[in-house]
Amino acid sequence: MSGKSALRRELLAARRLLSEEDVRDASAVLAGRALDLPELAEAGTVAAYVSVGREPGTRALLDALRERGMRVLLPVLLPDNDLDWAAYDGAERLVRAGRGLLEPDGPRLGVRAVLDARVVLLPGLAVDGCGMRLGRGGGSYDRVLARLEEAATDTGMDAGPALAVLLYDHEVVDRVPEEPHDRPVHVVVTPGGTRRFTGK
């Protein structure tokens, strides 16, 4: 078993021990902390995701962003594990999709729609002191990050959107095993606080 696989199993097992109350309480605190990010205050479009199960909750945050007048894009999983995107128009417009995910029922905007986002909220299981994120291993967000990096290079921009991940406090770890294609995030938000990364 690879280092990533072992760490995923350990972290997922810890999430399964969380109560619904734990998840609900953390969700409210996370929404408040995330809304304080200066990057979000300046973003017209945000790419996010709908939390499911014991993931750190995003639903209160999605509604708050929408109430602020922001355009919120949510992922739609394609058969090849790439991500299309659709606008979030409220919880009542979410439908259950494959793998237990919730997706908007509106028009699909294409895989490049994420390039409009000034902030991208990434799901994850852990992040380390260098900002390296551990995902679930499906590779969907690796493609998104590569697309964002390529677009920034093509346009001559020094930086693409701000990359943020919402986690529980214990999921900020000493080290995440990394591979050449892995990209660090800029900020992690946990119930205990916000931490920024400046790279290696």
Annotated binding site for ATP: 4-8, 133-141
Burial class (CB within 10 angstroms; exposed 0-12, middle 13-18, buried 19+) of 52: middle
Q: How many Cα neighbours within 13 Å face the side chain of 41?
A: 5
Which three-class secondary structure state does DSSP give residue 70? coil
Q: How many CA atoms lie within 13 A of 55 on its CB side?
A: 19
From the list 61, 194, 45, the residue with the least C-alpha distance to 118 is 45
Measure Cα distances from 189 to 30, 58, 76, 178 in Å.
Answer: 7, 12, 24, 21
CA distances from 61 to 67, 148, 168, 175 (A): 10, 23, 15, 28
List binding-site positions: 4-8, 50, 55, 133-141
Helix, strand, coil shares of the chain, percent, nearest 5, are: 35, 20, 40
Binding-site residue numbers for substrate are 50, 55
Structure-block tokens of residue 31: 């929404």
Answer for the pair 57, 26: CB distance below 8 angstroms, yes or no: yes
